[in-house]
Structure 1
Amino acid sequence: MRIWNSEHTFNHSWDTVVTAAWRKYPNPHNPSVLGLDVLDRRVDSEGKLKSHRLLSTSWGFPSWVRKMIGMQDMCYASELSTVDPENKTFTLRTRNVTLSNIVTVDEHVTYCQHPTDPNKTLLKQEATVTVSGLPLCNKLEQMMTDAMTNNASKGRQAMEFVIDKLTKEARELSAEAQKCMDTVLPHANTL
């Protein structure tokens, strides 16, 4: 078993980061996530948004590893998430479904408002990787945690990409609304 963790501070508000997190996939920085399907979504009695999604991914293992463990190109993971707008936390717990009898990856991700700066968001990630019943278990666990380190960096780049995209969309929408107002208001005075 190997435990991996990472922390990162985004220079954006929690609301902005959470909005981007919901729209993170697909993106050019994380091509391994091929699809997301919402299995269940509801708001509980405390006003928290609870979701259960199925992620379709490609783990990107070398072909010799895929052959050794009988892995297909497409892998699936189950993600349970909670958005708590009152406490400004967004937590995600993800576990692989594919090959869970020999490889288990439990990931816990939390986005929370930075404790000292409300204009920033703290991201905490932790994963436990366990490979059992295969030769070279330690080597496979190390390969997976190394990949997580690389993918965490790509994930942060993807978040910045999506935040930039959202900012651009907001500017374009604002400009279009202003254009409409400029067209309508002069005619309103003549009525």
Structure 2
Amino acid sequence: MVKAYKQEYTYRHPWERVTSASWRKFADPENKRILSHILEVDTLNHKLDSDSGKLYTTRAITIHAPGPCLQKFIEVQEKIQYDPHPDNPDSWMLCRHETSIQIKPLSALASMAEKVEQRCAERFVQNSAKGREVMERICKYLEAESGGISL
């Protein structure tokens, strides 16, 4: 069983500001309180598609989850994509966030696995809201830093 969900969020900031905020999100010391579950972020791979101009990045994010240690049994895949917003492509960004959570096969505990997946999904939704809060704060900081000039 896989628990998957999708979210969309509009950042009312230009591309350059949103992408800068995305790179600063985990490095900013002020975010330690809000994103206290994030222990470490490592960039594993960068790939620039020269035909499309898209940058693909693979990161490994180590998190702390209170309770029993389930790391051997849970697999999480997360994909975040930023695109110009169709209603205002020069000034806004549309963030598409997809997450899938899977408990590795435990046939004897299948009903419990489904409940654990659901609880994990609920926590990821809560934590992604915190991540958006951090992104908005960084975007506003970058806007103030640039004197309100759109990049």
TM-score, reference length from structure 1: 0.62
Q: Structure 1 unaligned runs (5+)?
A: 72-98, 175-191
**1:139 and 2:115 are equivalent in the alignment:** yes
1:24: how far off?
0.6
Q: Structure 2 unaligned runs (5+)?
A: none
**1:30 and 2:35 are equivalent in the alignment:** yes
Distance 1:155 1:104, change over 3 A: same
What is aligned with 1:125? 97
**1:41 and 2:46 are equivalent in the alignment:** yes
- Per-residue CA distance 1:19-57 (angstroms, 9 max, x = gap): 111111142322222222233335443344343333232
Identity among equivalent positions (%) equals 28
Aligned length: 137
SS at match of 1:4: strand
**Among 146, 154, 159, which residue is 2:135 paired with?**
159
One-letter code aligned to 2:58: H
Distance 1:123 1:48, change over 3 A: closer
Q: CA RMSD in A?
A: 2.3
One-letter code aligned to 1:21: S
What is aligned with 2:16? 15
The within-5 A match list for 1:1-191 is 1-26=2-27, 27=31, 28-46=33-51, 47-58=53-64, 60-62=65-67, 65-66=68-69, 69=70, 71=71, 99=72, 102-118=73-89, 119-131=91-103, 132-133=105-106, 135=109, 136-171=112-147
CA distance in 1, matches of 2:37, 2:99: 17
CA distance in 2, matches of 1:146, 1:43: 33
Computing the radius of gyration over CA atoms, which structure comes out larger, 1 or 2? 1
1:7: how far off?
1.2
Give the number of the structure with larger relative contact order, counting CA–CA contacts within 8 Å between residues 6 or more apart. Answer: 2
One-letter code aligned to 2:114: N
Distance 1:3 1:32, change over 3 A: same
Distance 1:104 1:152, change over 3 A: same
